[in-house]
């Protein structure tokens, strides 16, 4: 349950209406609203021709090429005009994939399982191969010949393992490798984990077979002992192994920086091994550099945020000398850019904004400038292009704050392509010079079909958080041919996890669910991303309370609209969204009448240490927070309709979460529905079954 990007959250909420047709549940086929939904869905998806152009720069930035209306054009900037040069290039289509269903690609066609690390690593010179075997590190020639074990004490009984990592390192820290070759191929660094104090979690697999089997995984729950992590470096020439002093001589305990060690890579010259390390509370982060000969470490930079947590692996961009780098840091309460030297530390802060730097677009060392996107539009959802000197001077915004922007900068830095839009203004593309002056409008979206279908543009709405003062944002989608004199039931799509958001300023057609006769909405909460560190900190220690209170505030505000049926409000989500859906229904039975929660955490004591403790600390010291964030605490409050789903093979949010809630609801003599995904992992409820559930709950199934 790593922090989700905006794109991932939107995909998680909308995936089932974006993919191809699914077989309908039996009773749905005869529901008129469902038939309209099936008819309208493909039309809505194809309801407008986007004015967003993708260009290819040519002649060093003096011209660019692009496709439009089935034709290929070349635009000469000096001449100020476009000339057709052929037919459009064939489009490349890729299937949409839920962010947490599959691991990343590691090399050609090799996809890691969720939470796992690559089991082989080829040396840069192509002569050697390192590989994981029987809980140890092995080396061989590239073709597998002359294999030998570098370590031999990795063993199931002692719970020691090398060249791999604890499962949550892959899931929560993004650690996809556990062996790292030096640039000269003479040394290899590798992990050692001691999991002797970590309890196993047992998951039954192959339930659909005649004979099942067990998946046994050391899984650290919140507040339980973590594995001891170390790094070793093996020298191929001397055949000597050096232990990296990742904790500066201190023993492994909760407070020591080095409790978690990750983000490992060699310096460009191979003289040092770099890695991030943090304490268990995750409020102190260091980038450390280790001497491969002695194992001694020094600190390159240190981040500390005592009130909550630091960013586990802040983005870094290396400059061409491979010694200096740009660091994105929240140290002043806002994400800003800092220029560092690997040996000499901080050179200068490049930005000192009171808004967020979102990401770096380009570093132009020849011109001595950095281009970055910042959240300083007329609301924080709108990304703006900035240029600032590598000396921290001359920061200038180059885009119109009335829109959010995606940019493509010319190789010579003299111009950029600007795709601009808002939530209700479809994308358009223009050519802009280095000073921010618009030179040409290149394309606009065509809404002819959109308007013919009678579709409604999305609405960006604002409401006040539960604290009575913080402004928050949400999205509202209305059905085609919307009639404000009618009353519509509401479906809320939700994720709402820490450091995520669902409101956005990018244009999209209405959610096809509206054609079932619903208003469809999504709302941000405090604790989300993009509005500063202190905004995120409001959720610390209170998962299941602060963000749920804000969701309730959004419904109270929405109910003031005359066309909203406040007695028929449903909510659904998967993973953290499933948890939030359940908590909204249980904690606010006066506001929500139905909820579908899939693959839901139901008590943070059931989830992994790294993610949970980052936001909740440990249950031994935050019992009240864990109790308040437990769905079981409110089982006797259930009044509306509840649908629960879990996959029996979910190794992320374990089935025990849903089963504990089932038991609590049974003890409270409550009625509810359960759907099970046999041999399914961290997944969502069959979408048509969910539609059937909400249509039944609101009396819309005929």
Domain ranges of the chain: 6-19+458-697, 55-92
User: 271-330 pLDDT, tens per residue?
Assistant: 999 999 999 999 999 999 999 999 999 999 999 999 999 999 999 999 999 999 999 999
Residue 573 CA, chain-centre distance (Å), reads 15
Burial of 616 (0-12, 13-18, 19+ CB in 10 A): buried
25: pLDDT strictly greater than 90: no
Strand partners, 221: 608
User: 219-228 pLDDT, tens per residue?
Assistant: 999 999 999 9
CA 247/CA 254 separation, integer angstroms: 12
How much is the pLDDT for 1?
65
β pairing state of 488-493 and 564-574: parallel
CB 373 within 8 A of CB 385: yes
Residue 432 CA, chain-centre distance (Å), reads 31
How much is the pLDDT for 97?
32
Mean confidence (pLDDT) of the chain: 93
For the chain, give the percent of residues with pLDDT over 90. 90
Chosen CATH of 6-19+458-697 out of 3.40.50.1820, 3.40.50.300, 3.60.15.10, 3.30.70.20: 3.40.50.1820
Structure tokens given for 173 = 């820290």
678: pLDDT strictly greater than 80: yes
User: 373-383 pLDDT, tens per residue?
Assistant: 999 999 999 99
Burial of 118 (0-12, 13-18, 19+ CB in 10 A): buried
Mean pLDDT of 667-686: 97
Mean pLDDT of 421-429: 98
Q: Is the pTM of this model over 0.75?
A: yes
CB 584 within 8 A of CB 592: yes
How much is the pLDDT for 94?
41
How much is the pLDDT for 107?
47
Using alpha carbons, select from 341, 189, 182 the residue that is nearest to residue 270.
182
Q: What is the DSSP string of 218-282?
A: E--BTTSPPPEEEEEEEETTTTEEEEE-TTTT----TTSTTSEEEEEEE-TTSS-EEEEEE-TT-
CA 652/CA 611 separation, integer angstroms: 11
């Amino acid at each position: 349950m790593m922090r989700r990007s905006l794109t991932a959250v939107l995909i998680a909420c909308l995936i089932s209406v974006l993919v191809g047709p699914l077989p309908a549940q039996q009773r749905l086929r005869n529901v008129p609203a469902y038939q309209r939904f099936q008819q309208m869905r493909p039309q809505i998806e194809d309801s407008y021709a986007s004015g967003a152009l993708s260009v290819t720069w040519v002649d060093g930035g003096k011209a660019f090429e692009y496709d439009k209306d089935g034709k290929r054009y070349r635009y000469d900037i000096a001449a100020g005009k476009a000339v057709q040069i052929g037919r459009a290039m064939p489009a490349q289509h890729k299937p949409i994939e839920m962010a947490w269903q599959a691991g990343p690609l590691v090399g050609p066609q090799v996809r890691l399982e969720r939470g796992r690390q690559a089991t082989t690593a080829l040396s840069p010179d192509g002569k050697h191969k390192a590989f994981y075997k029987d809980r140890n590190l092995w080396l061989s020639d590239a073709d597998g010949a002359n294999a030998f074990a570098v370590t031999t004490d990795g063993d199931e009984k002692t719970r020691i393992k090398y060249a791999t990592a604890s499962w949550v390192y892959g899931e929560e820290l993004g650690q996809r490798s556990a062996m790292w070759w030096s640039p000269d191929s003479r040394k290899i660094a590798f992990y050692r984990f001691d999991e002797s104090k970590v309890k196993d979690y047992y998951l039954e697999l192959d339930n659909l077979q005649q004979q099942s089997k067990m998946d046994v995984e050391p899984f650290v729950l919140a507040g339980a002992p973590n594995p001891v992590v170390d790094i070793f470096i093996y020298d191929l020439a001397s055949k000597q192994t050096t232990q990296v002093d990742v904790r500066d001589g201190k023993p492994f305990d909760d407070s020591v920086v080095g409790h978690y060690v990750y983000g490992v890579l060699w310096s460009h010259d191979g003289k040092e091994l770099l890695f991030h390390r943090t304490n268990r509370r995750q409020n102190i982060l260091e980038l450390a550099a280790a001497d491969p000969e002695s194992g001694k470490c020094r600190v390159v930079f240190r981040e500390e945020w005592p009130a909550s947590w630091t960013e586990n692996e802040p983005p870094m961009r290396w400059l061409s000398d491979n010694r200096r780098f740009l660091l994105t840091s929240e140290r002043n309460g806002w994400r800003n850019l800092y220029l560092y030297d690997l040996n000499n530390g901080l050179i200068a802060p490049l930005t000192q904004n009171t808004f967020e730097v979102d990401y770096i677009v380009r570093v132009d060392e020849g011109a001595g400038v950095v281009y970055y996107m910042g959240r300083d539009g007329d609301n924080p959802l709108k990304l703006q292009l900035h240029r600032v000197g590598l000396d921290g001077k001359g920061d200038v915004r180059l885009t119109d704050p009335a829109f959010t922007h995606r940019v493509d900068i010319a190789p010579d830095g003299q111009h950029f392509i600007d795709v601009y839009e808002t939530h209700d203004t479809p994308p358009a593309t223009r050519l802009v010079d280095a000073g921010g002056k618009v030179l040409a409008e290149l394309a606009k979206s065509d809404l002819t079909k959109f308007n013919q279908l009678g579709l409604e543009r999305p609405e960006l709405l604002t409401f006040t958080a539960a604290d009575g003062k913080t402004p928050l944002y949400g999205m509202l989608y209305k059905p085609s041919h919307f009639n404000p004199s009618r009353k519509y039931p509401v479906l809320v799509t939700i994720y709402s996890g820490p450091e995520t958001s669902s409101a956005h300023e990018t244009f999209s057609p209405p959610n096809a669910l509206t054609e079932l006769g619903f208003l469809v909405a999504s709302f941000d909460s405090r604790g989300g991303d993009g509005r500063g560190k202190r905004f995120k900190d409001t959720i610390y220690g209170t998962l299941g309370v602060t963000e749920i209170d804000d969701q309730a505030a959004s419904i109270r505000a929405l109910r003031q609209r005359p066309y909203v049926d406040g007695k028929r409000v449903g909510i659904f989500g998967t993973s953290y969204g499933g948890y939030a859906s359940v908590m909204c229904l249980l904690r606010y039975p006066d506001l929500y009448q139905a909820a579908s929660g899939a693959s839901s955490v139901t008590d943070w004591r059931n989830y992994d240490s790294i993610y949970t403790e980052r936001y909740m600390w440990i249950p031994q010291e935050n019992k009240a927070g864990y109790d308040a964030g437990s769905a079981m605490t409110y089982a006797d409050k259930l009044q509306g309709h509840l649908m629960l789903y879990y996959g029996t093979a979910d190794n992320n949010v374990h089935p025990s979460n849903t089963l504990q809630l089932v038991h609590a609801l049974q003890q409270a003599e409550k009625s509810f529905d359960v759907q099970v995904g046999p041999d399914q992992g961290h997944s969502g409820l069959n979408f048509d079954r969910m539609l059937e559930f909400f249509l039944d709950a609101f009396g819309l199934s005929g």
